[in-house]
Structure 1
Amino acid sequence: MKSRIYRFESEDIVVSWDYVRCIHVEACIRALPAVFDRYRKPWIDPTLASADDVAAACEACPTGALHYVRLDGGATEQTPDRNTITVSEDGPLFIRGDLAISSEDGTAILKDTRAALCRCGQSRNKPLCDGSHREVEFTAEGALAQAALERGDGDTPEKGPLTIRVSDPGPLIIRGSAELAGEGGNACCHVRVGALCCCGKSKNKPFCDGSHAASGGTDG
């Protein structure tokens, strides 16, 4: 997995930005435009707001491209009480929680509280999204179809780790308790074990239906 990290400091906080993981959702800009300004160099200036506000804006980043270290003894980012998987329209899977992503042989890839996972099959930084869905004009609903809702077990999500194993070729294998929801709070369900499509071809998105086998791999 690729990364290119830049750091921006004030007396109270250090912000780290991973250029490779950033897909320009701009949640940080909407949250705190004085600090995050893409037309300015450097585009992040944490001296222009309180450390608490800067930290909150970093945590708004759904891809995990933004993180921070407090120098003032302030609160650090906490692991969410529950794991959530949000299916975005024409885009990636946004995941929050106690995340551990590994390769098929069990090698650790990423441990984080936030990540955006490719589901178009074209990312050059799999399993993470790199924005390629825009280049290839990937289209997929940001809502859960009835067939997907029926895959849930109906229980309330529990606190605990969510492991995601990358199979090649094949889907993302998830294990753990998570709420699966469509973008904008569309109907959701609770899943414990599942195979999520990352080739972009499944007819039962966000779940895998084996279409990657017919296409010869995960790439679209």
Structure 2
Amino acid sequence: MKQVIYLCLLLITLTGCSFNDEKSVAAKTSSNNTIPSYYDDYILNPQVSDDRLLQEVGQFSRDNRGELTVKAAEHDSHTYKVGSIDLTIREAKILHFKPDYSLIDFYHSYTHDQEFDFIKFFVEIKNTSNQPLKFAPIAILNTSSGEKVTFEDDIYLEDLNGEIAPNGMKNGNLGFIIEKSNVNSIEIMTSDVFNEKDEMIYDGETIRVEF
């Protein structure tokens, strides 16, 4: 009987520890932060953990997609004009990500590391003209540590590149895995702007973001 009682007490203790561990994880993201309003109506990405509440360096979160930690963040919003396109970068972050095991195959097409850093942006793209336009907010990205990635390396796959309807708008995330995390600035080269006949009508812009 004593053995049965001991086992029951041990089970209760372990269960309590597990519960406390989960509470401590949640606490690291539950400061006074609130989800920024520009995320209204945003549908969570199926491949990457939710980072909407992660706004400060060192914050950590875990969900069924994996674990995220903030390594750098820039929350000053800026709008850039690229011809008839208004491109707004709402936030830029460098995040360390440990994907859930169920997503490993997806990320193997980008990296063979089990966990990695990536640079992430939330952007808004507005076509201010009365004709369809084609545009990519990030065609090439260069980091201060000497790495270069292109639009083809985007891990979010939220269909932000390509055609934008007349007076239409798109918003969402773009993310690029990097090998060197000691990044203090990045240089973004947008694509040129094309009309529906694939004729270039505006040159792209170069944008610098400091962390």
Shorter-chain TM-score bucket reads under 0.3
The alignment's TM-score, normalised by the length of structure 2, stands at: 0.28
* Greater share of helix: 2
* Greater share of strand: 2
The alignment's TM-score, normalised by the length of structure 1, stands at: 0.27
Which of the pair has more CA radius of gyration? 2
